[in-house]
């Protein structure tokens, strides 16, 4: 099977690494990829937002499957262009990707499907925003309606900060904001594969959104993640499939926009029960890095079955008993003003630590062939082990071997769960 992976980040590196280890995969390509992905796949210089260019590349390669990683190409309709060329795609159409592209649309679908979520107000002007904040009260939850690379959500006790974020979102062309009720309780990420009708859950994970230890500082795209979740209630996955994922997939099919790909269910385990915080239309980053580290079933056949309407024919997925922890190494200034172009050393030394692999997120090849930083979240260092404590120790041992001037990382990823 020849597979083309679209994207540049650690999520795509995790997908490419898993696919490269699948004996069914005879050719692995990435567009445009990054230096880490280039170690396991052939890279192609193609704009990942250009559906026609991606489709043409897939045709020229004779690809049997295209896997679209990031949200922006999905919302832009890249999967539609590839499907129109007759090639199976793992990733929703632009119409179905609105579940992530518009938080207001996602709330509408959830309401129609009877999916439990926070009570929302969709606002389009400053007066409405101020009124909605006063209606809900603190803590204030303000979400940019559109894509914001994981940084469009503000949760704060400070009304002025909440209003400032709302006004900044509304100032964008066509700006809309979702102000909603605060959901208490721990958050869980669950990926659910869908072929438009059947849903197959993966294992739950938890990520860490705030930039600093003890969940301090601004929201980011995610500073680390771990799985399994020893504290998660028994039956959680079955509950989410029955009450969230299947009803949503059914509602999307009813609307004539079947959802094919992976539905990311961001959940809060509140005092009133499980509630949806948000949907994403693709694998989440950094949770993908730990979830795929535990998947024992070869990945290629699973993604192809989802892309071709055959998930119901698959045997149950198999999972390793190991735990997995990923720690994100971020560049100087992230998330406000990330610095790029800094050399990165120690990658081989980190990967040599038992149980560790390093996934590239924001990296590029320097003029001398070295690896340099090219984004805010630069690397995901993944550690695996027989339990969370061992996996965590491995991940941090890997982080300590990497040198990137001015970089920072959280020191508490999975600490509470490992010590419980």
Boundaries of every domain in the chain? 2-95, 187-313, 323-419
Q: What is the pLDDT of residue 150?
A: 56
Give the C-alpha separation, 14 to 289, whole Å: 6
Give the C-alpha separation, 105 to 147, whole Å: 13
Burial profile 133-168: b = 16 or more Cβ within 10 angstroms, e = fewer: beebeeebbbbbbbbbebebbbbbeeeeebbebbbe
Q: Which two tokens stand for residue 309?
A: 């309407």
Q: What is the pLDDT of residue 181?
A: 86
The domain 2-95: what is its CATH number? 3.40.50.20
Looking at the chain, the number of H-run helices and the number of E-run strands are 15, 24
Q: What is the pLDDT of residue 118?
A: 85
Per-residue CA distances from 176 to 102, 128, 129, 242 (Å): 9, 11, 10, 31
Residue 267 CB-density burial (10 A; 0-12 exposed, 13-18 middle, 19+ buried): buried
Decide if domain 323-419 falls under CATH 3.40.50.1980.
no
Tell the CATH superfamily of the 187-313 domain: ATP-grasp fold, B domain (3.30.470.20)
Contact criterion met (CB below 8 Å) for 27 and 43: no
What lies within 8 Å, CB to CB, of 200 at 6+ separation is 192, 193, 194, 302, 306, 311, 314, 317
Q: What is the pLDDT of residue 63?
A: 98
Per-residue CA distances from 56 to 26, 84, 85 (Å): 20, 11, 8
> Which parts of the chain have pLDDT scores under 70?
148-151
Which tens digit of pLDDT belongs to each residue from 72-95? 999 999 999 999 999 999 999 999
Give the C-alpha separation, 322 to 331, whole Å: 29
pTM, to two decimals: 0.92
Whether omega before 195 lies within 30 degrees of 0, making that bond cis, reads no
Contacts 24+ apart (CB under 8 A), 348-351: 349/401, 349/402, 350/381, 350/398, 350/399, 350/401, 350/402, 351/398
Counting Cα atoms < 13 Å in the Cβ hemisphere of 196 gives: 18
Q: Are strands 65-68 and 89-90 parallel, antiparallel or unpaired?
A: parallel
Q: For 287, list phi and psi in degrees, rounded to 5.
A: -65, -35
Q: What is the pLDDT of residue 135?
A: 86
Give the C-alpha separation, 278 to 222, whole Å: 15
């Amino acid at each position: 099977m020849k597979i083309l992976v679209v994207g540049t980040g650690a999520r795509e590196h995790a997908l490419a690494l898993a696919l490269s280890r699948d004996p069914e995969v005879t050719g692995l390509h990435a567009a445009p990829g990054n230096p880490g992905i280039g170690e396991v796949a052939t890279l192609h210089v193609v704009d990942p937002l250009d559906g026609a260019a991606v489709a043409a590349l897939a045709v020229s390669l004779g690809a049997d499957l295209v896997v679209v990683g990031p949200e922006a190409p999905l919302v832009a309709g890249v999967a539609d262009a590839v499907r129109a060329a007759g090639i199976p795609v793992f990733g929703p159409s632009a119409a179905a990707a609105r579940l992530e592209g518009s938080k207001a649309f996602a709330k509408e679908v959830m309401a129609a499907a009877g999916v439990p979520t926070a009570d929302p107000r969709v606002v389009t002007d400053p007066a409405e925003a101020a009124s909605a904040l006063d209606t809900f009260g603190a803590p204030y939850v303000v979400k940019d309606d559109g894509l914001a690379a994981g940084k469009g959500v503000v949760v704060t006790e400070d009304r002025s900060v909440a209003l400032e974020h709302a006004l900044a979102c509304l100032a964008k062309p066509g700006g809309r904001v979702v102000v909603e009720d605060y959901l208490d309780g721990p958050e869980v990420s669950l990926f659910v594969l869908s072929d438009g009708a059947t849903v197959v859950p993966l294992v739950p994970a938890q990520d860490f959104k705030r930039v600093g230890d003890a969940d301090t500082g601004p929201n980011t795209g995610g500073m680390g993640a771990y799985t399994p979740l020893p504290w998660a209630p028994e039956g959680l996955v079955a509950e989410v499939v029955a009450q969230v994922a299947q009803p949503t997939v059914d509602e999307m099919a009813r609307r004539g926009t079947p959802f094919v790909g992976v539905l990311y269910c961001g959940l809060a385990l509140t005092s009133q029960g499980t509630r949806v915080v948000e949907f994403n239309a693709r694998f989440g980053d950094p949770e993908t890095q730990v979830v795929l580290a535990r998947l024992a079933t070869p990945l290629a056949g699973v993604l192809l079955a989802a892309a071709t309407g055959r998930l119901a024919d698959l045997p149950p997925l198999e999972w390793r008993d190991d735990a997995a922890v990923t720690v994100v190494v971020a560049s100087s200034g992230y998330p406000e003003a990330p610095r790029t172009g800094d050399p990165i050393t120690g990658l081989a030394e980190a990967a040599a630590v038992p149980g560790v692999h390093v996934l590239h997120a924001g990296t590029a090849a320097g003029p001398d062939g070295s690896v340099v930083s090219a984004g805010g979240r630069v690397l995901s260092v993944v550690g695996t082990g027989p339990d969370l404590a061992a996996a965590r120790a491995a991940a941090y041992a890997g982080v300590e071997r990497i040198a990137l001037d001015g970089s920072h990382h959280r020191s508490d990823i999975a600490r509470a769960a490992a010590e419980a």
